Amino acid sequence: MKKVFALVDCNNFYAACERLFRPELSDKPIVVLSNNDGCVIARSNEVKKLGISMGAPYFKNEALLRKHNVTVFSSNYALYGDLSHRVMDVLQQLEPEVEMYSIDEAFLSLPYHNGREMCKYAAWIKEKVRQCVGIPVSIGIGPTKTLAKIATHIAKKNSQQNGVFSLVNHANSDALLESVVVADVWGIGRQYADILARRGILHALDLKNADDVWVRKHLTVNGLRTVMELRGISCLPLGSVPPAKKSIVSSRSFRRPVCEFSDLKEAVASYVSTAAAKLRAQGALAGAIHVFLSTNRFAAKGPQRSVSTMIKLPQPSSYTPTLLKYASQGLARIYKSGYRYNKAGIMLVELSGHLLKQANLFCPAEKESDSLMEAVDTINTRWGRNMVRFAAEGVAKSWRMKQAHKSPAYTTCWKNLPVVRAD
DNA sequence: TCTGGGGTCCTAGGACCC
DNA sequence: TCTGGGGTCCTAGGACCC
């Protein structure tokens, strides 16, 4: 049977999550900030109309936001992650083939029907998600993922579509593609949009009709895939099984510039601890660890520095103390005093499965205790993150990121459960 | 004072091999 | 004086996504 792709995309997802537990804000402007309260990363429609762009620095827009009575939230990923799961659960109950593409988007593979039937069914899915979770979504349908993305874009932009739009066998699809600027096509970022503009390729339709050889040369095979997808030739299959991670990153900006090695060491230890728990959760081992460190690239004065190093482990490990030891060696290798660092991080790479553990003939195995890690993970899962932690992570953590406007973990923490009163 | 974090994939170029 | 060519592997950097 012929199949088509549908993209289910949550509208202003983080903002919608915050509003769910603050219904009095349902028609009021709100924004959600990135970690460290740095940038605006989600905006309600009212805020979009104010001209505040995605990624705008908060401190530069604080006055404007206050002037318009915008409610500001720090990121609350425990909440967004949990609501995302609930949305995905609903979709998986309705359809067998679901690819969770990001925290707020999922691709579905649907049997082909005529345009009107498809839209009717999508509207039903949309209503189900609203009923069960309370998050509004838009749904776009197309013969390829890239066209489904564009259909979603159209569904969101035109209010008369009621949040659902299908490009499958659409009579005027070329006219519609002509109305979409090329930078809004999935896979075309700023750099590629500039390259395309220099060649006079400004809209999705121009890209669809572009020369294959030229595209392959300047936009790599990925660009060529995008072109094929615009032509209705599906190159990106639905991946219902999420692939195992190839790397795990943990990094944060600091609340204030950090100069001292001891502070950086604590920060790096905290990141290692977080990443190691994720590593174990997916039953993997890391073969190497990157450590990186940088000063504030926006700072006008003061010397700049951005460094990283890679440490190969003698044998793959997921044991936090081992990872801490090598991360700390890496940090010592790249640290230089006299700089105001604003960010550090680690990346676990060369991940392999637990069963593939390869001993090192020339290096005695580290003394590692799986049961200790299991106990730590169990306690922290049961009683909350960081309930038990390593001394190396420090206690005061004066460098820890800023989160001045964080909402409660309404759905993932007993203490924060919303209370309903009937009076 | 204050500008996020976590991923993937592709390519070019160097090292190294025979 | 004049010193090949083809292959693989690895890494860094750059592009993209949300």
pLDDT digits (tens, 9 = 90+) for A342-366: 999 999 999 998 765 666 666 666 7
| pLDDT above 70: percentage of residues in chain A | 97
pLDDT, averaged across chain A? 93
Find and give the residue nearest to B2, measured CA to C1'. Answer: A59
Average pLDDT over every residue of A319-342: 95
Q: What is the pLDDT of residue A105?
A: 98
- Reported as a single tens digit per residue, the pLDDT across A85-139 is 999 999 999 999 999 999 999 999 999 988 789 999 999 999 999 999 999 999 9
Q: Which of residues 221-280 of A touch strand C (CB under 7 A)?
A: none
Query: Which residue type occupies A350?
Result: E
A57 pLDDT tier (thresholds 50, 70, 90): very high
- Whole-model pTM? 0.94
- Reported as a single tens digit per residue, the pLDDT across A403-414 is 999 999 999 888
Q: How far apart are CA A42 and CA A35, in angstroms?
A: 12
Find tokens 């950086």 and name the residue: A264
A368 pLDDT tier (thresholds 50, 70, 90): confident
Q: What is the pLDDT of residue A341?
A: 95
Distance A296 CA to C2 C1' (A): 54
Nucleic strand B interface residues, CB < 7 Å = A 34-36, 38-39, 41, 55, 57-60, 220-222, 243, 245-253, 256-257, 274, 278, 296, 298-299, 342-343, 345, 401
Q: Name the least confident of A28-32, A52-56, A240-244.
A: A240-244
Find and give the residue nearest to C16, measured CA to C1'. Answer: A187
The CA-CA-CA angle for residues A279, A82, A156, to 5°, reads 115
Q: What is the pLDDT of residue A354?
A: 72
A13 pLDDT tier (thresholds 50, 70, 90): very high
Structure tokens that stand for A72 in this block = 């500001």
Find tokens 């926006």 and name the residue: A298
Q: Which of residues 149-188 of A touch strand C (CB under 7 A)?
A: 149, 185-188
Query: Which residue type occupies A151?
Result: A
Q: Which residues pair with A5 in a beta bridge?
A: A109, A142
Reference A135, options A86, A195, A202; nearest CA is A86
Which bases in strand B are touched by protein, i.e. have an atom under 7 Å from a CB? 1-11
The alpha carbon of residue A265 and the mean position of all alpha carbons in its chain are separated, in whole angstroms, by 26
A193: Cβ under 7 Å from strand C? yes
Structure tokens that stand for A194 in this block = 């500039």
Q: What is the pLDDT of residue A249?
A: 96
Average pLDDT over every residue of A42-67: 95
A151 pLDDT tier (thresholds 50, 70, 90): very high
Q: Residue A14: pLDDT above 70?
A: yes
Is there a contact between A242 and A227 (Cβ–Cβ < 8 Å)? Answer: no
Q: In sequence order, what DSSP letters do the residues of A169-203 get, joined into one string?
A: T-TTHHHHHHTSBGGGSTT--HHHHHHHHHTT--B
Is there a contact between A186 and A226 (Cβ–Cβ < 8 Å)? Answer: yes
